[in-house]
Structure formats: C-alpha cells, structure tokens
Amino acid sequence: MTELSDSDFLPQETISPPRVGLGLVSVALLLPVVAGVLMCFTTGWVAFAIAAATVVVTALLMALDANRLGRLDRSGRERESPFLLLAGMLLLWIVVFPLAVFRRSAFTKPNLGLVALLVTVFFLVASLLSATQLPACTSPEVVQVLDQVLRSTSAVAAAKTIDGHRELRFDRAAQIRYGECVAHLDTGDVPVQFLVEWQDRNTARFQVRLAEVELPLCDSLMVKQLLEQVIGQTPVGATARSIDGHRELKYDRIADVRHGECIAHLESQDVPVQFFVEWQDRNKSQFQVRLAELELPACDSQPIMNLLEQVIRQNMQGAAIQSIDGHRELKHDSAAAVRHGECIAHLDSGDVAVPFVVEWQDRSKGLFQVRLPGQPLPACDNPAVVQILEQFIRKSAVGAKTRSIAGYREVNFDKQANVRLGECTVELDDRNLTVKYRVEWQNEEKGQFQVRILGSTE
C-alpha cells in the first residue's frame, strides 16, 4: 500500500514561456506572398532566385523565432530544436514551414497555422505558374540561347556584340514572345527580331528562333548610308551638296521591294531621286540599294514649284503677283519626257491660269528646267539678260577697265522677227561706252535665249 504525502496534493507549477512578439513570424508570413506576386511577372532564373531566397530567409526567420521561444512549451513539453527546424525547412519547406508556425502556437498566442497554410499554398501555386511560363525575351536563359542561334547564322556570325534585348509583345493565346535585339557588325548595326516559344511545355523546354528577316526601311540609317554611296558615283552625286528628305513611297510585299525617294541638293536646284531597296542575298541578310531611272519631277513637286515661281516672276515683270498656287499636272508625255502642268497666279488685277512645261535640261546630271510655253522673249532689262550681257562685257577687251555697267534699256522690239535690241552704258577708267546688244531665241521650244553684242560707241 503506497502512502501519499501532503506534497502530492499541492498544485503543479505551470511553465510560462518567454513573451515573444510577432515581428519575425509576421515578416516570415509576408515574404512568400510578396515573392509569389513577383514570380507572376518573372520567369526562368529570376523566378528561381526569388523562390530560393524566400525559402532561405523565411527558414532563418522561423528558426530565430523558435530560438527566442525556447524548447519548453506552455505544457512543459520539450519541442524540436531551432536547428532541426531550420534544416527541415531548407530541405522540405512546403511541409515544415507551416508546421513551424503551428509549433509556435504551443508556446504563445495567437495560432497562425491556418494563415501559414494559405501562404504556403499561394507560394506553391505562384512557383508552379512561374515554372510553366515562357521565359521573357530579356531573361538570361533566352539571351544565352539567342546568342548561340545568332552565332550560327551567317548573316550576323561576325557580330562584335549583341545587345539591346527587349520584348515587343507576348501572344498569350499562342504562347509566343516576340523580341528584338541589335547585332553590332563592322558594316553597321543590324536589328534582329526573334521568337520565344515552347518546344515541350510539359518539361518546360523552350526554343528561340529568328523571325523572318525584313528589308530595312527606306529611311533607316543603313539604307541612307548605302544610298549616299550609290548617288555619289553618279553625275548627280558629283555636284550634290547634301542629300536628305528620305521617305518610303510604297512596299511591294509580293516582290519584296521597297520604293523610296530622297532629295539631292545640287548647286543649281534640288533633284528628287527615287530608289529601290531589295535583297541581294536574303539568307545572309544582305540587301542592296539601286537607283530608279531618273524621272522628271511631278508638276506639283516642291522643286518644280520653287523653280516655276522664279520663272513666272521673271516673265511677268510689272505685274503685282500676290501668290502662286493650284499646281497640277495636265499630262505626262513619257516618250518625249515632258510634263505639262498648270498653276494659278494671283495678281492684283485678278487670277491668271499659267500653263508650264517641265523637261530635261541635262538628264545625265539630273538637271531639269521649267518654261512657260509661248513665253515672250525676255526684255532687254530682264535680270537674266543683264547677267549674261555683263559676263560678256567683263570677259571682253575692256572688261579689265570697266568700273560699272548701268542704264539697260530697250531700243526696239521687232515682233515679226521676235528680236529685241537694247543698249547699256559701260563706265571705263577714262571714258564711257554705249554698248548695243541683241536678244533673240536660241531654242524657243525649250525657252532658251541668247544675247549678242552688236557694237559700242563713245
């Protein structure tokens, strides 16, 4: 018979664990949520790095929290060591992490076990979604595979560097990412478009392939540089001061040819130059630029309108011209290489329809001219006549002694012979001369006239 002592009836002393706040465990529960959200917008190695960092950091936080709580819970039972919890979470986080949070409820309130389960499920789903998502066009694994693909392509195998990777769009329905990068070659920079798609989605294997190469645009830097070289080898390029205004006229997708135009600024006028961009060797991404056969500028093109205004103002001297507009083409005689056009000259006295002709002056050099059909012979004091006459006088025997030339006037106009007679005064060092000259047509159809000196008197 066992004897009971008085001490057996005394109340047992309960163990009160240290009071520990929720700081560490709150951060440990919040991190997987933040990481899961980030993984929804990342793929590949980036998503893996986020997941791994989350596992390590949350395991350390829970281990530190367990160390602060101690090993004896409220009932006096000895629990797992913090080091054992740390090892378990690092090896099997998805199971041990919520258990570590449940374990905490044995030491102190509140019980956050259910919250831990929800957080774990969310983190697991986000990880699975990230693992089954196509890597972004800028991800390291895509960049690495793309570099291998490009290095095996003859077109850009000699690239010095490849950079500028960016994603153009993501077709979620077809699960294809469209991207672009820039290959820096010795000959220039080449934009390269590529696609990222699944090779085997079940095993998360993807592939990178190059998109079908397209011709560079007519206003791209590569085309401009090559075009300038081509134009420089022509008579037009020999006198061109600058070339600009590059634009694309049309893209023939069936023939895969781009039609473009630029403006060559010569010393005397601006010449529109049309050109083609086409493949030389598509497999090697090599293209060429060739010039179209020179065509007369259209009657409503800017170079024609500029030159036409000069012609009209020279031939309508005395008329108060306010403005000139309404340029339009009436017909184009391809065989004769002549364009017939019309514009409206707004005078103080009313509006006048002015017909004009555009034709070649020197086709090999791209030089054209604008004339007014049936235009009158320039007057003796016309600036164009004065300029030609002054050149003749300066080159004559008295040119070196000439101080000034003035007093241009018309003496007679023989309408039947269509000849103008004029005179001017030449001031020499020792005397004045009256120079008589004649203005007549050299080629009336082309609007070309000539000036001849008839003689001089003192």
Indicate the helix (H) or strand (E) that contains 124: helix 113-131
Give the pLDDT confidence score for residue 327 in this predicted structure. 93
Rounded CA-CA distance 58/26 in Å is 10
Provide the pLDDT for residue 317.
Answer: 57
Report the predicted TM-score, pTM, of the whole model to 2 decimal places.
0.40
- Backbone angles phi and psi of 107, in degrees to 5: -100, -40
3-state secondary structure at position 67 = helix
| pLDDT at site 286 | 78
- State the DSSP H helix or E strand holding residue 23, giving kind and residue range, or none if neither: helix 23-39
Predicted local distance difference test score (pLDDT) of residue 20: 61
| pLDDT per residue rounded down to tens, the chain (458 residues) | 555 555 454 454 555 555 667 788 889 889 999 988 887 777 667 778 888 999 999 999 988 988 888 888 888 888 888 899 899 889 999 898 998 888 888 888 788 888 889 999 998 888 877 766 788 888 888 998 988 888 877 667 677 888 989 988 888 888 888 998 988 877 777 788 899 998 887 777 889 988 777 788 898 888 898 899 888 888 777 788 899 999 999 999 888 899 999 998 888 788 888 999 998 877 667 788 998 887 888 899 888 898 888 888 877 654 678 889 999 999 988 888 899 999 998 888 778 888 899 988 887 777 888 888 777 788 898 888 888 889 888 888 888 888 899 999 999 998 888 899 999 999 998 889 999 999 998 877 666 789 999 988 88
Burial 244-267, CB ≥16 within 10 A → b, else e:
eebeeeebeeeeeebbbbbbbbbe
164: tokens are 């500028």
The DSSP symbol for 78 reads: B
- Per-position DSSP letters for 163-201, written without gaps between them: EEEEEEEEETTTTEEEEEEEEEETTEEEEEEEEEEEEEG
Task: Identify whether the C-beta of residue 436 lies closer than 8 Å to the C-beta of residue 451.
Answer: no
So what's the pLDDT on residue 325? Answer: 93
Query: For residue 234, what pLDDT is reported?
Result: 82
Whole-angstrom distance, CA of residue 299 vs CA of residue 81: 93
Closest CA to 52 of 96, 87, 90, 86: 90
